[in-house]
Structure 1
């Protein structure tokens, strides 16, 4: 039978198509372009872990062809970089290859070069590799580890994790991301996003050369003008410095498998999105500026403040009035406000004061001066007649404004405190000066009379107490417990905290002074922020510790009462046991069991003593601290948040058992209470949870965070504040850096 020519022909065609498909799959599986290889329109290369694709595409609604990079496994094509955004190809004959000079080039259907990396390449035998970060990197054959060109350095509209955003303060350089012109046109649009190179780093969106929105300054953790940033991506952003003085930001997601992008849309909106594989869509994490009018840059003009809760939203800062009342009433606030009364900076009598504006977005265009605290920052401002306002922000230090205050926004929560300089008379509101003087004189008279009566009554009452305790010395029973002969009960209930009424042994001040040789240094065990601790030996050779609060201490009577009340009610092997207290005139003392091995930090950070606590002892100490915290949070009658857990507040007994001490800052929580807020943030920086340090929010998680820092110190043997480098500023950053290497 004669062979069927058509059958053989069909067989040959199928064989050719199958082999062509295999070759195409092989090419698309490569993550690189080498000399002699090209990517034609219709072909793609895919990164090693198949996260990104490089190839030709056309935007929706456009027939032009572009070379771009997009996510591989995302349903809707999401382009993150475009090569030839200004020079599209009109047909399907495009070609991406390595040129004769070693650069990566794009040829159109006529073979004309329309785009090139235009880099200095060591050799014409180059290789272009698509990384799993979305970065297209060109390597020269002379040094395969040194990149000649990176797409990350020539970004378009999208910022990706691991990308570096540079700024050079000395040369006022900025690395910007530029929006598309429209959803179907990748050409550079009129909006750009980047780090402002002037002053403290902040993110800015520009419309042409004009500012459209800004994030507020970077404080080391967040941008202070974005109140919700802490909950969204705290610890994701990081500011680094290179040897040439350039600064750059990076962003690392908490979950490395997440697909996250920041991009500037053609409408001037910056968006952060995460890919939701289950729903096949991008979830919006945050966006700026939002539709609210106060998110627009400088909505209310100089010295104006914008508050979305008010109608109209714009108002003048206290001490200022509208620059143009007619325009202001028409809803045109761009002219802003002007001072009602000029400053008297050069007057012999200082008449300038400061109005305290809380929970605001700090103004733009700030200067920085060295200052140790807020008071010194205020003095720096008063010494400069050009200073219009100041702020002291944790992580930034002293900030001073010497020009018009622009772009101030009122927040419902979060934000910073701004002190606006005003003439002293403006600080009293609308009351007349004469009324103020009359009221002040009357009040002073009443206060003086009341104080005199109170002092007399207090002297009589305290005299009775001294007569009761005079010449009495604490005695110890054979069992080691205190007898009631020496003590007088004193009620130390904490106001506002029901169920805390406690009666404690009241020690005699003169006896304690005699036992410590008038509180001499020979009897001193240590000292802290609230005073000194002394060792006292009672009859029967029982040793006790006396914590004498300094008169200048910031710990007041409420904190003192709080500490002894809590310590008296809490009984646990890993908590320091309270024995009594002493109150006499301005003297306040707490008496508790003596800890012969002092505090944990004296072992951890002492090169000569740290060897005494081996791994077995360190684990036992960690376990004991954890048991004490668990008791405070769950097992005691009261639910206690300590708020100041640190190595110096962990005391060690003669067997090196840890005991938590210093409950002056502790707070009692109700049965159903999960968190609380305070305007007075106390504790030790480095141990405080970010939400507590920055916004005053605390809960059991605050103690857990502090315990985590303490645990890292115990394991590493290094103090939390001893870490200072461009890569990390504390032990948390150091651990995160180590984690990234594994």
Structure 2
């Protein structure tokens, strides 16, 4: 007993040391009175997701109380308490004061920050949740929430976490703002803020000071309409809640995958990032950022102007409007916007309620203007009538999930999207719509005359067809020593019937601009190819042989004779006719005519003297003839051809069978995309479709198409990425075998890329002629195009920008999953009927996938 009391000072020192050590190392999730957090100590949420304590930004000695991810190796702060009043040394304390409020004190006990909640209980407790929320309540611990007095989710900094509410008080108009840091290393209040728009339809707005900098566009129930690359599948439960009882409107989102670490953040430089933690690479991956180009900046082109980043200049006035200041507009100062050329009829005569003479211009694929009003009306027709009744109504839109939207203010912040977007109907005077103010009687007369002309023309064509049908030359073949029959340019009854079943798309293809497609009789085609002799044979694909022909005028043509066993029936044949006949682009092959007679189906194309791309890049003796400059031009040409199909042609077209053998080369080695038998037509607002009949070529089909039958423009982007890597390497994806690893060409490219050995990937025959910068960029773009998720792949417009720009910043590609070599046959064409057809190049696979 005496020995224990022999050294009382040592005993007291031990107790004091244990107390200080416990406050320094205290790592529970709860903070109570009498147990403060001193600088160096922390608390951690129960599931080890978040940590709270003192920190210093990079290159700074100031100390702040903050919350950051516990499991993320790179310290990422999501909330700061004393952001404008740092502790200048390491003597700071975070505690619950005598009033029950949370406080940050300096070494002298001065308060630098406080929750400042009135009527706080003296026994209040703070605890850190696994969602990153610091809650001050009257409960005793994290399991007993009690009465919540304050929470950090209601006082955010610059980060929007899952479970947070980006809210607007509908009664006061106040919005809860996320405010950026002042700089990358200074968490004090910055110049940019973001929150729910207090004016008009629900949307997210970013402000620079008090001026709007960017907006997300209106919410349609699934996505923000001004963020075209936002997809419901990856927005993690984003939803809008209208809490009428609480007087709040707020956006919130949840994590469908609990292992993902996701956040939104407004950066100090005014950019909103959507970030996902990559645990393998130990870094944050940017899913998307806004605004990143000039068209995304708020109202870049002024009132009634529209911004299109693919145009030069990017700003133009809407139809029916002209620059307010032509001189300033020509200098690139678009802030003055545009003004109406012709006053609306209702503005000239305000006594008339529903004026005849004003109409609406349809503008598609855009970000809808700001400051819209929602009207409870069903149907676009009723929405248009509602707008016409109100002379102040400038435009309207009817959007699924939103309903009728009207604009009574000048139209601002309009942007054209390369893909997606919505349709706006802009009110214009009748004369601006190209109708010249015609009276109803005059319009009726013109319609009657047009109908009579159509009937007369149809009758003439029918009589001409009957006349030519009687003069057709009989016999199976025309021998060279006999008179050559003239080509039959009429549309046969069979073809007319076949084309009629294709609906509006076929009608548009037939009635569009350009000459009608000539139909040749079989005898004519047979004679031009010397009776389809082997000497004229250019090659043979999965759908039949191709022959070289010569027309009487001396012009050489390529004649594609579809095999009866090819699997390409009348539907594919009609598809190819309709699609190619009206497409006009320097990087698409031109269709010169066709032949349908009995079971014979034949297409006549312009002749490409240098055959197909695969005959160069995959043949060792010819690879050297295609030096890097020509290969890069071919890559750019294919990309531009695809961009035309996806965006710039009158119909959005998905090729679905892009590969080296379907790229033909003209006399100057310019690429021409060919073989549209498997192509599909999309409507103007359609982005993807499903099919139970998956067709294409092994090695070029995207994962979502091969496994789920889901195809879109991103399916072609995947095929383009494979083709790009083949052009750079001179190796065929379906035949490539890595010596060290069981990888296909994509896996081999990825392996060399991450090992910083990408130059080993290029074709040795071009190593002396290539530009290292261009080659590495092409490999980078190719890996972006073959990413597993269609959402991660760029569009063809982005691909062209990345290929041609020396300053464009490329995102980091994700590893393609389907890179293991499989033992697939590479010399047969498999169809649902199980026919086997010899093929000289790649496999074309047709299979039924159950849905």
Q: TM-score range by the shorter chain?
A: 0.5 to 0.7
Partner of 1:254: 256
Partner of 2:683: 679
Partner of 1:126: 124
CA distances 1:524-545 after superposition (whole Å, capped 9, x unpaired): xxxxxxxxxxxxxxxxxxxxxx
Shift of 1:457: 13
CA distances 1:131-166 after superposition (whole Å, capped 9, x unpaired): 111100011149843211101001111110011111
Select which of 64, 67, 71 maps to 1:66: 64
Partner of 1:528: none
Partner of 2:558: none
Partner of 1:380: 386
Partner of 1:445: 449
Shift of 1:15: 9.5
Counting only pairs closer than 5 Å after superposition, residues 504-519 of structure 1 correspond to structure 2 as: none
CA distances 1:379-437 after superposition (whole Å, capped 9, x unpaired): 111100011111001111111111110000011111100111101111118xx789x99
Using the alignment, how far apart are the partners of 2:69 and 2:160 within structure 1? 13
Partner of 2:574: none
Q: Does 1:283 align with 2:285?
A: yes
Select which of 96, 102, 113 maps to 2:100: 102
Indicate the larger mover: 253-262 or 30-39: 253-262
Shift of 1:49: 1.0
Counting only pairs closer than 5 Å after superposition, residues 263-412 of structure 1 correspond to structure 2 as: 263-290=265-292, 292-345=293-346, 347=349, 350-412=356-418
Partner SS, residue 683 of structure 2: coil
Q: 1:181 to 1:677 in 2, by over 3 A?
A: farther
Partner of 1:199: 200
Partner of 2:26: 27
The question of whether the paired residues in 2 share the 8 Å contact of 1:222 and 1:229 is answered with: yes
Using the alignment, how far apart are the partners of 2:122 and 2:443 within structure 1? 87
Shift of 1:121: 4.8
The question of whether the paired residues in 2 share the 8 Å contact of 1:56 and 1:65 is answered with: yes
Shift of 1:244: 2.3
CA distances 1:695-721 after superposition (whole Å, capped 9, x unpaired): 464445999999xxxxxxxxxxxxxxx
Using the alignment, how far apart are the partners of 1:418 and 1:246 within structure 2? 30
Select which of 403, 427, 432 maps to 1:426: 432
The question of whether the paired residues in 2 share the 8 Å contact of 1:203 and 1:216 is answered with: yes
Using the alignment, how far apart are the partners of 2:689 and 2:296 within structure 1? 25
Q: 1:676 to 1:107 in 2, by over 3 A?
A: farther
Q: 1:169 to 1:22 in 2, by over 3 A?
A: closer
Under a length normalisation based on structure 2, what TM-score does the superposition of the two structures give? 0.52
Using the alignment, how far apart are the partners of 1:103 and 1:450 within structure 2? 83
The question of whether the paired residues in 2 share the 8 Å contact of 1:319 and 1:339 is answered with: yes
Paired residues, what number?
483
User: Where do 5+ consecutive residues of structure 1 fail to align?
Assistant: 1-7, 459-490, 499-564, 567-667, 682-691, 707-742
Select which of 396, 411, 416 maps to 2:422: 416
User: Where do 5+ consecutive residues of structure 2 fail to align?
Assistant: 1-6, 463-495, 504-569, 572-653, 659-676, 693-703, 711-851
Using the alignment, how far apart are the partners of 2:678 and 2:232 within structure 1? 17
Shift of 1:18: 11
Using the alignment, how far apart are the partners of 2:332 and 2:413 within structure 1? 17
Shift of 1:241: 2.3
Partner SS, residue 218 of structure 2: coil
Partner SS, residue 59 of structure 1: coil
Using the alignment, how far apart are the partners of 2:225 and 2:377 within structure 1? 19
The question of whether the paired residues in 1 share the 8 Å contact of 2:691 and 2:709 is answered with: no
Shift of 1:173: 1.5
Q: 1:252 to 1:147 in 2, by over 3 A?
A: same
Partner of 1:188: 189
The question of whether the paired residues in 2 share the 8 Å contact of 1:675 and 1:698 is answered with: no
Shift of 1:229: 0.5
The question of whether the paired residues in 1 share the 8 Å contact of 2:430 and 2:437 is answered with: no
Using the alignment, how far apart are the partners of 1:679 and 1:180 within structure 2? 44
Q: Does 1:236 align with 2:228?
A: no
The question of whether the paired residues in 2 share the 8 Å contact of 1:167 and 1:197 is answered with: yes
The question of whether the paired residues in 2 share the 8 Å contact of 1:169 and 1:198 is answered with: no
CA distances 1:443-475 after superposition (whole Å, capped 9, x unpaired): 7425225448979999xxxxxxxxxxxxxxxxx
Shift of 1:74: 1.8
Counting only pairs closer than 5 Å after superposition, residues 422-501 of structure 1 correspond to structure 2 as: 422-428=428-434, 444-448=448-452, 450-451=454-455, 495=500
The question of whether the paired residues in 2 share the 8 Å contact of 1:303 and 1:336 is answered with: yes
Using the alignment, how far apart are the partners of 2:105 and 2:230 within structure 1? 44
Shift of 1:63: 1.4
The question of whether the paired residues in 2 share the 8 Å contact of 1:178 and 1:188 is answered with: yes
Under a length normalisation based on structure 1, what TM-score does the superposition of the two structures give? 0.59
CA RMSD in angstroms, aligned pairs only: 3.9
Q: 1:378 to 1:696 in 2, by over 3 A?
A: farther
Using the alignment, how far apart are the partners of 1:355 and 1:191 within structure 2? 36
Using the alignment, how far apart are the partners of 2:315 and 2:135 within structure 1? 49
Partner of 1:224: 225
Q: 1:130 to 1:381 in 2, by over 3 A?
A: same
Q: 1:433 to 1:172 in 2, by over 3 A?
A: closer
Using the alignment, how far apart are the partners of 1:42 and 1:73 within structure 2? 18
Q: 1:453 to 1:276 in 2, by over 3 A?
A: closer
The question of whether the paired residues in 2 share the 8 Å contact of 1:161 and 1:261 is answered with: yes
Partner SS, residue 248 of structure 1: strand
Q: 1:497 to 1:113 in 2, by over 3 A?
A: same
Using the alignment, how far apart are the partners of 2:461 and 2:365 within structure 1? 43
Q: Does 1:151 align with 2:152?
A: yes
Partner of 1:92: 90
